[in-house]
Structure formats: structure tokens, C-alpha cells
């Protein structure tokens, strides 16, 4: 084999190491394995690839627009892997230094320069723990109603605001504190 033929062979192998492609289908990961993708690389070149993902992060791009960068060890196109998969249709507009995770339903966790913003779009948010959840902050502000299925224990004072209604704490206090026992030597009630 001539030297120029050897160089040509190396050049071809190097050219085959990386490829851009468009995602056609995605597949779930087998237990202990990587998710799979089917992508078109060069026109008419269809490849089935393993979708390597960073530790602690899993994603599955929706079909119809995802793009990827594929790698092929030694330039062997028969066994490739997706290094990076993205979809520009669902990118979040970021300022310098910001980061976000997002999906095709409009759900976003955005690390902004002013703080963390979690936007669930029109979907619910569920936080699960088998022991407890602790929020360390000087104030927790809820703009809507709060529904508690269990007991509420307050170490500090419970304050009322707004006009009293028949069912609120201020109304209960007003009724309790103005209640008078008539006769019978009952001691006066301690105000609530």
C-alpha cells in the first residue's frame, strides 16, 4: 500500500469520526443500558445510536426536529453513539451566565441572575418525600389558597389579616373572646 493510499485511508476514517444528524425516532433505555435514537446523518444514511447522557440527567427528545452530534469510535459507522442531542424549537432565552432545563410542554427550571424560577406551565408540581420537607427562608409567600390534609402546628404566632368572616380565625377568636358564661361560678375564659 502506498503512502498516499494510507493517508487517504486515515483521512476517510477521521472524516467518519463525527457526524451531525436529525432525530427520526427515539427509544426507551433497556434496563442498565442507554436510550436509543434513529437518526439521519448524511442524506440517506440512517443510523441507530446509543444516546449517552450525563450522570443524573435523562432526556428523550420529541421526534420531528431534534438534532444530534454523533461519534463513531475509529470511524466505524456501524456502532455509533449520540454525544449531544438538542432541539432548538424548545430552547429557553438566557442571559449570560444563566442555565435552564426545559421541555416541549413549556415546563422550565430557570437559574436566572435574580434567582431560581420554576414554571410548570399548565401542569401540576409534585414534591415527594418519605420523611420531611424543609424550607429555609425568612418568608414563604403563597399567592393562592393553601389546603392541608393533615394537622397544622405553629411554633410562632398565627396572625389574621383582612375582614373577619364566619369561617376564618379572626371570626372564631371574636366569638370566643366575647363569650360570657352566665351564672354557675364558671371561671372567665382566657382570651384566644
pLDDT bracket for residue 46 (50, 70, 90):
very high
Write the pLDDT tens digit of every residue in 73-128.
988 988 899 999 999 999 999 999 999 999 999 999 999 999 999 999 999 999 99
Residue 171 lies in a domain: no
Write the pLDDT tens digit of every residue in 2-41.
988 888 888 888 888 999 999 999 988 888 889 999 999 9
Range of the domain at 32: 3-89
pLDDT, residue 72, reads 94
Is the pTM of the predicted complex or chain greater than 0.75? no
For residue 143, pLDDT over 90 is answered with yes
Residue 96 lies in a domain: no
Residue 53 lies in a domain: yes
Q: Give one DSSP letter per residue of the chain, joined into a string.
A: --HHHHHHHHHHHHHTSEEEEEEEEEEPPPTTS--EEEEE-STT-EEEEEE---TT----PPTTT-EEEEEEGGG-TTSEEEEEEE-GGGPPP--TT-EEEE-TTS-EEEEETTEEEEE-TTS------SS------S----SS----SS----SS-----S---TTSHHHHHHHHHH----STTPPPPPP-
Residue 104 lies in a domain: no
Looking at the structure of the chain, the number of domains it has is 1
Residue 185 lies in a domain: no
pLDDT, residue 185, reads 64
Residue 75 lies in a domain: yes
Residue 13: CATH number of its domain: 2.40.50
Write the pLDDT tens digit of every residue in 149-190.
999 888 877 777 766 555 566 677 777 777 776 666 666 677
Residue 60 lies in a domain: yes
Residue 170 lies in a domain: no
Amino acid at each position: 500500500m502506498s503512502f498516499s493510499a494510507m493517508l487517504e485511508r486515515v483521512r476517510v476514517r477521521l472524516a467518519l469520526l463525527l457526524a451531525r444528524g436529525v432525530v427520526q425516532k427515539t427509544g426507551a433505555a433497556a434496563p442498565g443500558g442507554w436510550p436509543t435514537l434513529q437518526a439521519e446523518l448524511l442524506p440517506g444514511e440512517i443510523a441507530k445510536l446509543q444516546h449517552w447522557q450525563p450522570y443524573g440527567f435523562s432526556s428523550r427528545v420529541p421526534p420531528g426536529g431534534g438534532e444530534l452530534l454523533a461519534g463513531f469510535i475509529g470511524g466505524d459507522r456501524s456502532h455509533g453513539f449520540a454525544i449531544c442531542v438538542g432541539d432548538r424549537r424548545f430552547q429557553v432565552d438566557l442571559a449570560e451566565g444563566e442555565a435552564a432545563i426545559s421541555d416541549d410542554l413549556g415546563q422550565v427550571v430557570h437559574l436566572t441572575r435574580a434567582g431560581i424560577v420554576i414554571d410548570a406551565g399548565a401542569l401540576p408540581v409534585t414534591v415527594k418525600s418519605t420523611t420531611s420537607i424543609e424550607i429555609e427562608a425568612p418568608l414563604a409567600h403563597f399567592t393562592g389558597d393553601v389546603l392541608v390534609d393533615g394537622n397544622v402546628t405553629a411554633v410562632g404566632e398565627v396572625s389574621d389579616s383582612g375582614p373577619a368572616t364566619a369561617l376564618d380565625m379572626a371570626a372564631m377568636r371574636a366569638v370566643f373572646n366575647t363569650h360570657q358564661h352566665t351564672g354557675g361560678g364558671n371561671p372567665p375564659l382566657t382570651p384566644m
